Amino acid sequence: MRAARKGYWVSVYRVIADPERLAAYDELAGPAVRAGGGRLVSRGSRVVAHEAGNTERVILIEFDSFEEAVAAYESEAYQKALVVLSDCVERDFRIVEGIGTD
């Protein structure tokens, strides 16, 4: 049986128009992510960007499975956090599946 592959949220912020609203989002998103099984791996305090890379804000969150990552994003608690975030940032957000060792 194939072991579940980890899931990751990868967020790269291109523009932060309202830092106060971003902080309000963080207050809601943190508990929602933890409730969904997510663990903050990196907040991108040190970034070396290449090609068209961006160093504004980079976030990496790990989940035990890809399905868990998707469910956390779709959760009611995280959706409430997204309402606060809307129109105050421009970001590239992805949910990606990790590679397995099986």
Q: DSSP 3-state assignment of 41?
A: strand
pLDDT, tens only, 8-61: 999 999 899 999 999 999 999 999 999 999 999 998 777 888 887 777 889 999
User: Residue 101's pLDDT is what?
Assistant: 63
Amino acid at 72: A
**CA dist 40 → 18, 23, 52, 62, 80 (Å):** 22, 16, 24, 6, 19
User: Residue 50's pLDDT is what?
Assistant: 86
Confidence of residue 96 (pLDDT cuts 50, 70, 90): very high
| Fold of the 7-97 domain | Alpha-Beta Plaits (3.30.70)
Domain segments of the chain as ranges: 7-97
pTM of the model: 0.88
User: Residue 76's pLDDT is what?
Assistant: 98
